[in-house]
Amino acid sequence: MGEAEGSGSKDKRWSLHGMTALVTGGSKGIGHAIVEELAGLGASVHTCSRTESELNNCLLEWKAKGFQVTGSVCDVSNQAQREKLMNTVSSEFNGKLNILINNVGNNIGKTVSDYTAEDVSVLTSTNFESAYNLSVLAHPLLKASTAGSIVFISSVGSVMPANSASIYGANKAAINQLGRYLAYDWAGDNIRVNTVAPGVIKTPLAQRFFEGIEGGIETIISRTPLGRFGKPEEVSAMVVFLCLPAASYVTGQIIFVDGGTTVNGLFFPEPITNKGCPPKPI
């Protein structure tokens, strides 16, 4: 193999040129970072948001950056709107889709006994049913691409309790298992399915969650080995890696992007300035 041929092959492994993607909830937070990461690597992206003004502002911003991004207004908790969204994507991308990012998520901060039946229904339809149904709707398009990839956005709350997030956490735990099942069921269609579970990331949802919780931020940071919150682009980098040709043998995985929160166990880190000192037990 000549040097030029090898170089070109390597470049293709780390490029999304010619690929198409749908990202739900791409107007802010992690979803926004994922759209930019995908488009920056050459993908043509369609995204959606419930808020038209936010979406339009983002589309203008992305156009100015030279990104190939389109968008539509959609509440993914509604089946009729999900079907309309997928029809739009199918028409725009000629019946083929390489990448589906199920990013939308929401929480209602209450204790377990305070949730109403309506609360549970709203959260489950947003966090779980939307991702499941969109994946099923997208399946023919992903299969037609001959190289499909789905990434679910979960949470560390799916494997460890989080204050005032029991239903959200249960929904995300279901997402973890859904990802495994789809990876198994759809492998024969050359569709890879993975899940990324972020820790506490600096997003509007996280900021809303910590409002009124005295000392909440300091407590979370004290239990995070890296000693800080994550950034949306630190999550989007992992999400997009899983969509690259370079990740072609990775499927059925749950990857935590959490600064070490899920491995901290019963030991809390020393202040970040005391490097080299072992953590002290509680």
Burial classification of residue 169, based on how many CB atoms lie within 10 Å of its CB (0-12 exposed, 13-18 middle, 19 or more buried): buried
> Residues 6 or more apart from 241 whose CB is under 8 A from it?
247
CA distance 119 to 107: 9
| Side-chain-facing half-sphere of 213: CA atoms under 13 Å | 16
Q: Which of 115, 132, 168, 249 is catalytic?
A: 168
CA distance 180 to 14: 25
**Which tokens is 81 given?**
């709107």
Is residue 181 part of the annotated active site? The answer reads no
**Which residue in 140, 50, 152 sits closest to 100, CA to CA?**
152
CA distance 172 to 153: 8
DSSP 246: G
The helix, strand and coil proportions of the chain, stated in percent and rounded to the nearest 5, come to 50, 15, 35
Residues known to be catalytic: 168
